[in-house]
A and B are shown apart, each in its own frame.
Chain A
Amino acid sequence: MSEKKVYIIPCSGIGKVFGSISREIAYILVNDLAKDKTALECLPLIVKGKKEVIETLKENKIIAIDGCPLKCSYNDLIEAVGKVDAQFMTTDIVKENRDLKPEPSIIPIGDKTKKLSRKLAQKIALKVDDLLEEN
Chain B
Amino acid sequence: MKKKVGIIACSGENLIGGTLSRMAARIVVEKLRPNQTIILCQPLFMAGNLEKHGGQEERDFAKNHPTITIEGCEEECAKIAVNRYSGPPSATIYIQEYIDAHPEVKTNSREELGEEGINIAEIIAEDIAKKVDKLYGTK
Binding site for B on A (CB under 8 A): 10-15, 19, 23, 26-27, 31, 40-45, 47-48, 50, 70-73, 75-76, 78-80, 106-107
Contact = CB atoms under 8 A, between A and B. Distances in A.
Contacts, number: 99
Contacts of B23: 107
Contacts of A70: 44, 47, 53-55
A60 B55 CA distance: 28
A61 B90 CA distance: 38
22 contacts: A12-B11, A12-B13, A12-B42, A12-B43, A13-B43, A23-B13, A40-B13, A42-B11, A42-B15, A43-B13, A45-B75, A47-B43, A47-B47, A47-B81, A48-B81, A70-B44, A70-B47, A70-B55, A72-B46, A73-B43, A75-B47, A80-B48
Contact of A47 (B13, B25, B39, B46): B46
Q: Interface SS of chain A: helix, strand, loop or mixed?
A: helix
Contacts of A47: 43, 46-48, 77, 81
Contacts of B39: 14-15
Interface residues of B, number: 31
Contacts of B111: 27, 31
B14 A42 contact: yes
Interface string B67-96: 000000001011011000000000000000
Contacts of B44: 13, 70, 72
Nearest to A19: B41
Contact of B47 (A14, A41, A50, A72): A72
Contact of A14 (B26, B49, B53): B26
Contacts of B77: 42, 44-45, 47-48
Given A44-B81, A48-B77, A14 B9 contact: yes
Q: Which 8 A-B pairs have the closest CB atoms?
A: A79-B48, A42-B12, A44-B77, A72-B43, A12-B11, A47-B46, A42-B14, A27-B111
